[in-house]
Amino acid sequence: MKKIYFILLLTLCFTSGYAQREAGIWYFGVNAGIDFNSGAPEALTNGNLITEEGCATFSDKDGHLLFYTDGTYVWNRNHQIMPNGYGLLGDSSSTQSAIIIPNPSNPNSYYIFTVDQPRQDGDGSLPNPDGKNDGLNYSEVNMYLQGGLGDVNPAKKNIHLITYNPSDSKEAEFKCSEKISAVQHNDGISYWVITHFLDSFYSFKITKAGVQNNPVVSKTNTLIPLGGYLNNSQGYLKSSPNGKKLAISHAATKTTNEKGPKGNTVRNTGKAFLYDFNNATGAVSNQLNLLSGENPYGVEFSSKSKKLYVTSNNFDSESNIAGSNLYQFDLESSNIAASKTRLKQSNYSAGALQLAIDEKIYIAGINRPSIPPDVRVHLSVINNPEADANNSTFSEFSLAGKSAKLGLPPFIQSLFLFNFKYEFTCVGDATHFFINTVETIDSVLWDFGDGTTSTDIDAYHIYGAPGTYNVSLTKTTNGETKDPIVKEVVINEKPVILSTAYQLIQCDSYDSNPNDELSTFNLENSIAALTLNKADDFNVYFYLNDTDAKNDLYNENSLTLIYKNTVPNQILTAKILYKDSDCFSLGKVELIANSSLLLNASDFIGCDIGDGTASFDFSTKENEIKSSLNLPSTVVIYFYDSEENAISDVSPLGNDYISSEKPIYFRAENNGLCYGAGTFNLIVNYFPPVESDENVPVCENSFPIEINAGIPLDIQQNYSYNWSNGENTYQISVANEQQISVIIKDKIFLCEKVKTFNINKVYTPKIIDININLNNNTVAIITENNFDNLYVIDNPYNNYQSENTFYNVTPGLHTVYAKNKYDCGITAKNIFVLGFPKFFTPNNDGINDLWEIKGLNFEEFRYSNILIFNRFGKHLATINPDSGWDGIYNGEFLPSDDYWFSIDVTDDRNLTKTYKAHFSLLRL
């Protein structure tokens, strides 16, 4: 049979999915890369990526590089970090830190899904070096930006997806594993992004409407513990190219990160599982245990989804890597787990496995430990992944001096599945069906869903009526006929649009020549009319002519919506497409710039409301402009905060507008037609700094006082003053405590402010009591009124303190003083601080033989007899205040113990205060 070899470099309809060449370029490891587009892989050395594990790359349909990432930075095709391509929430040491998914509704938009590394500094105590684990997030890359080099959309960056119970603090700490995979939905358009956490899979659907935040959650039979998540989170997750299986490796399933008996990491607790996946519902089911008690890492399916490969590390008794194993599982076997065959042992650590568009599987890994450092300048290759174990062959692929690490870039696994594209979907068009692949094809059979077929590899078909058709393609390769691929193809009527040219009329204003019929137009203002008021159903692009519109298949080279005509009455072409379709009709827009009046308006002055802003009422300004310029009553005036908005007639300002000083642009229309335009400045009439509320404390004997409005002396005459008591002078006299306000008004612009005075009478402090603690000689002054009172002891000229208590006051006569901070007067009071020994030793040695009170002042105070008690309250002695006690009761020496005394002290005002305290008798 004649075999056909071909490479089609054709444009495609973005509704039909993506082919293998999007996975045609890889960047990974330390500046390593591979280009698969020629059919034979070639090493690339121009990458800037340096990553231990996670990475992702994506190319266009022709295999041209678009961008690549390590999960934190994004590089464009020129190997430069995108301007906003930093700070993504993946981690270069996360097993699968990122995967890239095309936006099904926009061929120039892509999603980067990232998963963080759930650990910190290797100890597992915290999730990540940035202080937290960020879990699963996604960001959008818009390839329209930066002149087609693309950039991360800042409005759609690091959008969080929940794969945990937010109410569980431990789950919320870790959030997600390091695993992520993607496969196409069975509708041929949408995608599934799949990750795993604890005992559940989370399948997020990406449709034309965007990323659906609510995942399909599938609970499994195995819980991966959080206690050992430092290692448990590691390992790969992959879906099969046919979308029917999932394989996952858990590098460990430990319950703790604690070390083993020798202080080394506990190993050989990992597992690998196989599951069924429903690519219509996103559900995961039927867990099958493939490996237990090992250390699996990489997993990968063959392109026909018939074989599964797993890498697993070996460790020595000190937990050092001692090579790795590569296993094969036969997915067509009646006992898949029992089909395990060890294909190869390696001296390298177990790394990623990744299927390429040449249908070979590439294996990463590094030396650990190693001398020289842990690098590997080649990848291992499984040459024939579909072969049984005993027929498998291997080779090595040189990285041209660059280094591999553990990771390789994952892709949407269905990129490696046979697929087809289509374009031109209007009734009457020759709809084009084609395949984009580098493989050898024997024959094909197209069924177009309307009863007609074709065996042309590159096929065209004209549909006679609009509708949805189930198109199938059956391919035969190397004598093997593949299962049919079926897609729904929607054929549309051409859009019904305005049949005549729409006249978009604009003022010829804001330029040097208001009569040259050239102006700036907002083309968006024509869309409603062109689409017969059905703008929501269409995407509309504008071009200089029909040819440009037809040739711009991706609508990447259309005119900007803000466009300045180059000749009077210029006619543009409008390309009007149904949304999510390449079916379009062409309409016309005539750009008419009418001569307009230059309208002069005076500046608009507003009253200062603080922060350099004023409040402006544009309805007042509109009436003023119409009146001063004698404009017709039918004229309507619109105001804008920029010349561009005024020209484009977008974002007109409302009547109530708060602003600082700036120019304002306005346009006048009469019965919907341009009449004129002009500009003026907003001026803020700044008010002198005046406090709106002022508290005025006044000493009780200081009334009356003078208060004033607070306007600086040199401009007082520019304002009027209206006091709440009826006076209208700048300064007034106040005779008593009260609240009084003044309205201060600018005589020219009538701006006004209200200032309120709170006049408060302040009294001299009155000392009503003194609390003296004899045990620690503290003195506390108690006053009847407190207006921020201040206190001092003994010298009224010393510094006063705000605290009313004095510590460690010496025994004897003292004077305390109190005043307030307004200096309304000073109050003084004499006090006596008793001094007494805290113990005495009546042993006739001449030292401390008597207990007695020291420093009594009989000139200023009168004292009662001193009463002595034991600690039970029994009265033992009564002594004169100027004598002492010898510790004898009824002729007997009292024992060592605590005793109490009481004495009354009367001052010169005949006020008596009782003092009580205790002391110790010590028999030595």
Choosing from 414, 441, 467, the residue where a domain stops is 414
Q: Which DSSP helix (H) or strand (E) runs through 546?
A: helix 546-551
Mean local confidence (pLDDT), 610-623:
93
Q: What is the pLDDT of residue 585?
A: 94
Q: What is the pLDDT of residue 579?
A: 84
State the burial class of residue 808 (Cβ atoms within 10 Å of its Cβ: 0-12, 13-18, 19+). exposed
Choosing from 574, 595, 616, the residue where a domain stops is 595
Candidates 826, 688, 680; CA nearest to 744 is: 688
Residue 52 is part of a domain; what is its CATH number? Answer: 2.120.10.30
Answer yes or no: are the C-beta atoms of 446 and 416 closer than 8 Å.
Answer: no
Judge if 629 and 712 occupy the same domain: no
Q: How far is CA 861 from CA 770, 905, 906, in A?
A: 15, 7, 6
Q: What is the distance of C-alpha 649 from the center of its chain?
A: 34
Tens digit of pLDDT for each residue in 179-227?
Answer: 999 998 887 779 999 999 999 999 999 999 999 999 999 999 999 998 8
Judge if 517 and 475 occupy the same domain: no
In-domain check, residue 869: yes
Q: What is the distance of C-alpha 377 from the center of its chain?
A: 39
Q: Above 50 in pLDDT, residue 680?
A: yes
Answer yes or no: are the C-beta atoms of 573 and 587 closer than 8 Å.
Answer: yes
Q: Which residues contact 65 (CB under 8 A, 6 or more apart)?
A: 25, 57, 59, 77
Q: What is the pLDDT of residue 50?
A: 93
Tens digit of pLDDT for each residue in 163-181?
Answer: 999 999 889 989 999 999 9
Which range, of 155-159, 363-367, 453-457, 692-696, averages the lowest pLDDT? 363-367
For residue 426, give the DSSP letter. B
In-domain check, residue 13: no
Q: Above 60 in pLDDT, residue 519?
A: yes
Q: What is the pLDDT of residue 541?
A: 97
Judge if 210 and 353 occupy the same domain: yes
Q: Above 80 in pLDDT, residue 8?
A: no
In this structure, are strands 839-840 and 912-921 parallel, antiparallel, or unpaired? parallel
Choosing from 726, 746, 762, the residue where a domain stops is 762
Residue 636 is part of a domain; what is its CATH number? Answer: 2.60.40
In whole angstroms, what is the distance from residue 674 CA to residue 668 CA? 6
Judge if 309 and 398 occupy the same domain: yes
Q: What is the pLDDT of residue 2?
A: 31
What SS3 class is residue 551?
Answer: helix
Instruction: Please state whether the peptide bond connecting residue 372 to the residue before it is cis, i.e. omega within 30 degrees of 0.
Output: yes
Mean local confidence (pLDDT), 902-912:
87
Q: What is the pLDDT of residue 418?
A: 62
For residue 715, give the DSSP letter. G
Q: What is the pLDDT of residue 53?
A: 92
In whole angstroms, what is the distance from residue 687 CA to residue 93 CA? 60
Q: Above 50 in pLDDT, residue 431?
A: yes
Token representation of residue 112: 């980067």
Residue 235 backbone zone (phi > 0: left; psi -120 to 50: alpha; other: beta): left
**pLDDT class of 58 with cuts at 50, 70, 90:** very high
For residue 54, give the DSSP letter. -
Token representation of residue 555: 């609508």
In-domain check, residue 12: no
Mean local confidence (pLDDT), 784-803:
92
Structural domain containing residue 635: 597-685
Mean local confidence (pLDDT), 391-397:
92
Q: Amino acid letter at 829?
A: K
The residue among 126 and 330 whose pLDDT is bigger is: 330
Judge if 45 and 114 occupy the same domain: yes
Candidates 180, 181, 171, 167; CA nearest to 224 is: 171
DSSP states along 2-22: --B---------TTS---GGG
Q: Which residues contact 341 (CB under 8 A, 6 or more apart)?
A: 327, 328, 329, 389
Judge if 644 and 729 occupy the same domain: no
Judge if 217 and 316 occupy the same domain: yes
Judge if 681 and 697 occupy the same domain: no
Judge if 390 and 305 occupy the same domain: yes
3 state SS for 737-803: CEEEEEEEEECCCCCEEEEEEEEEEECCCCEEEEEEECCCCEEEEEECCCCCEEEEECCCCCCCECC
Which range, of 158-162, 481-485, 783-787, 861-865, averages the lowest pLDDT? 481-485
Candidates 317, 320, 308; CA nearest to 273 is: 308
Q: How far is CA 546 from CA 498, 505, 568, 591, 606, in A?
A: 16, 22, 19, 16, 51
Answer yes or no: are the C-beta atoms of 195 and 136 closer than 8 Å.
Answer: yes
The residue among 560 and 480 whose pLDDT is bigger is: 560
Judge if 667 and 549 occupy the same domain: no
User: Of how many residues is the chain composed?
Assistant: 924
Q: Above 80 in pLDDT, residue 544?
A: yes
Q: Above 80 in pLDDT, residue 341?
A: yes
Candidates 485, 478, 365; CA nearest to 435 is: 485
Token representation of residue 231: 């290692």
The residue among 736 and 595 whose pLDDT is bigger is: 736
For residue 492, give the DSSP letter. B
Token representation of residue 347: 């001296």
DSSP states along 134-147: --EEEEEEETTTGG
List the Cα angle 196/134/236 in 5-degree steps. 35
Judge if 706 and 727 occupy the same domain: yes
Q: What is the pLDDT of residue 670?
A: 85
Tell me phi and psi for residue 594, to 5 degrees: -80, 145
Answer yes or no: are the C-beta atoms of 36 and 357 closer than 8 Å.
Answer: yes
For residue 547, give the DSSP letter. H
What SS3 class is residue 716?
Answer: helix
Mean local confidence (pLDDT), 443-456:
96
Q: Above 80 in pLDDT, residue 509?
A: no
Instruction: Please state whether the peptide bond connecting residue 369 to the residue before it is cis, i.e. omega within 30 degrees of 0.
Output: yes
Number of domains in the chain: 7
Q: What is the pLDDT of residue 374?
A: 56
In whole angstroms, what is the distance from residue 520 CA to residue 514 CA? 12
Token representation of residue 819: 């005043």
In whole angstroms, what is the distance from residue 919 CA to residue 924 CA? 16
Q: What is the pLDDT of residue 14?
A: 33
In-domain check, residue 15: no
Token representation of residue 659: 């602003």
Tens digit of pLDDT for each residue in 569-611?
Answer: 999 999 999 887 888 999 999 999 887 788 889 999 999 988 8
Query: What is the Cα Rg of the chain in Å?
Result: 45
Tens digit of pLDDT for each residue in 797-854?
Answer: 999 999 999 999 988 889 999 999 999 999 999 888 888 888 999 998 889 999 998 8
Q: Above 80 in pLDDT, residue 512?
A: no
3 state SS for 213-243: CCCEEEECCCCCCCCCHHHHCCCCEEECCCC
Tens digit of pLDDT for each residue in 284-322?
Answer: 999 999 999 999 999 999 988 999 999 999 888 777 778
Token representation of residue 535: 């703008």
Judge if 238 and 380 occupy the same domain: yes
Q: Above 70 in pLDDT, residue 641?
A: yes
Largest CA distance in the chain: 139
In whole angstroms, what is the distance from residue 533 CA to residue 269 CA? 65
Q: What is the pLDDT of residue 262?
A: 60
Candidates 725, 761, 759, 758; CA nearest to 742 is: 725
In whole angstroms, what is the distance from residue 689 CA to residue 686 CA? 9
In whole angstroms, what is the distance from residue 6 CA to residue 10 CA? 12
In-domain check, residue 7: no
Report the share of the chain in percent with pLDDT over 70: 93
Q: Amino acid letter at 785?
A: N
Q: What is the pLDDT of residue 1?
A: 31
In whole angstroms, what is the distance from residue 433 CA to residue 442 CA? 17
Q: What is the pLDDT of residue 121?
A: 41
Q: What is the pLDDT of residue 369?
A: 53
What rounded mean pLDDT belongs to the chain? 89
In whole angstroms, what is the distance from residue 52 CA to residue 908 CA? 90
Residue 463 is part of a domain; what is its CATH number? Answer: 2.60.40.10
Q: Above 90 in pLDDT, residue 347?
A: no
Question: Which residue stretches of 237-276 are H helix?
Answer: none
The residue among 422 and 220 whose pLDDT is bigger is: 220
In whole angstroms, what is the distance from residue 330 CA to residue 309 CA? 9
